[in-house]
Amino acid sequence: MKISITFKHITLLRSFSILTLILIISSCGGGGGGSLPSIPGENTGVPSVVQLVPSTFIAQTNGFITLNTKVLDGNGKEIPNITVTFTNLSSIGFLNSTVAVTDSAGIARVNVSSTTPGFVTILAQVYTGAGQVRDRKTVYFTTKDTLTVTLDMDVDSVPATLPPNQLSDFTLFENSNDDTIKVTATVRDAGGVPVGGGMSVLWSSSHTEARFIRTDNETNIFGQAEAVVKVEPESIRNTETFVNIAAFAQNGAANMVTLFLKPVVPDPTASYLTANPPVVNVSGTATITAVVMLNTGATAPDGTTVNFSVTCNPNTFPAIVTPFAQTTNGVAQATFIAPPAPAICTVTGKVAGIVIGTVTVTVRAPLSVFPTSMTLNEGDTATFTIFGGVKPYTVLSSNPNVTVSPVTDTPTGGTFTVTVGNVCTPVPPATTCSASVTILVRDAVGTSVTITLTINGT
């Protein structure tokens, strides 16, 4: 039978809506408690990560909440015997101690309590000498008898791993496919019995990066409701951040879980640059396209800045490239302007200081041949010089009796020789004749020029 929502339930839902709002506000801008001062993999044995995880986010006044604080080095290894300092940033609430030392698992614990209902924000920090690492969380103390009903939350990766609630289930972006989790909320009554049959459940997240793909708004016959959450980064950062997922049941039960997000950085193995066209004439232009992929498997957020630079060999004259551009759907474009002399130029793209790729643009002098026309007699030979273009060259004659030698490469192009055979036959009563022959010169990228030969025969 469906349970109707009473005024008391609406009041409780309002209270928890306010709680959600304030928790969201407290997470903004910090989304980054547990910030890394450097990318993981550095600072072995040096405190680099502080993760503050309350045993629960809601407790009754005169009760207490245990604050578990884990300290890790840059390689993610727990550090024992580290002093953690705790500070109450709120006007209410009491800490049983302002310092604690991490145990063999790298965890330091203190308790926070309050005789007054309201929000209490606690800051945990470790001083590393040159700086400090920190995290903070906000908990709520209430006078309402909401603790007589409970809501348990289980977290599992998508695709699922068994059993749920493993450390990796709470950590996203561990690989390029790790961006989605499933949360199962089990609502229980005061006797600990699951409340099935359509108990309303509301879901919320502390950051817009967490998007609900699917939510159950009511419990099933087992008292459970599920939500599938996909986290899509809105920025690139080399620090670990977090997002909170909360569930609120109609009977007043509520709970929240914290998902830890690994650093979001460009993936050089999946990102790349292209040039169109890859070969340009001196002082010509090309469009440089950068495709930026993240280590999460997604494209870079819109507005991500890509920095471009260019070097040429020889560097007699400088080339120009748009210094920066911003991504749309993971793509940013820049304009390359070639130097006024032939060269091989390399354009490099960087995002957040990380090289995401390079592309080569060949700058050539325009293809030309000297001379462009000539008058020859049958039996004559003539040498022609090719300038510019892109090697190798192909030379074709329009008449099989006018043959061309293979092209000999030179620093500026190449040379070839034309040999004239019997091209024309006089028509009586004439004793001489003339014919026109075309020589086609084509370079490796399809550019071509023609030479016109006038052949005099007898």
Mind listing the pLDDT tens digit for each residue in 173-196?
A: 988 889 999 999 998 887 778 888
- pLDDT of 322 above 90: yes
CA-to-CA distance for 253 and 152, rounded, in angstroms? 9
- pLDDT of 29 above 70: no
CA-to-CA distance for 201 and 149, rounded, in angstroms? 14
Task: Please say whether the beta carbons of 321 and 363 come within 8 A.
Answer: no
pLDDT tens per residue, range 218-266: 999 999 999 999 999 988 988 888 899 989 998 888 888 888 999 999 9
Name which of 57, 169, 74 is nearest 122 in CA terms: 57
pLDDT band (50, 70, 90) for residue 42: low
**Class of 368-457 in CATH:** mainly beta
CA-to-CA distance for 183 and 165, rounded, in angstroms? 10
CA-to-CA distance for 224 and 152, rounded, in angstroms? 9
All residues at 6 or more sequence positions from 25 whose CB lies less than 8 Å from its CB, including other chains? none
CA-to-CA distance for 214 and 216, rounded, in angstroms? 7
All residues at 6 or more sequence positions from 402 whose CB lies less than 8 Å from its CB, including other chains? 418, 419, 420, 421, 423, 437, 439, 453, 455
pLDDT (0 to 100) of residue 136: 85
CATH fold match for the domains 272-364 and 368-457 = yes
Mean pLDDT of the chain: 85
pLDDT tens per residue, range 76-85: 889 999 999 9
pLDDT band (50, 70, 90) for residue 172: very high
Tokens for 233, please give them: 């980064």
- Say what percent of the chain tops pLDDT 70: 87
Where exactly are the structural domains of the chain?
7-261, 272-364, 368-457
Per CATH, which fold does 272-364 belong to?
Immunoglobulin-like (2.60.40)
Question: Average pLDDT for residues 418-435, to the nearest whole number?
Answer: 81
Task: Please say whether the beta carbons of 69 and 100 come within 8 A.
Answer: yes
How would you list the strands of the sheet with 118-127, edge to edge? Answer: 58-60, 132-142, 118-127, 83-88, 99-101
Name which of 146, 130, 135, 86 is nearest 112 in CA terms: 86
pLDDT tens per residue, range 360-374: 999 988 999 999 999
Superfamily of the domain at 7-261: Immunoglobulins (2.60.40.10)
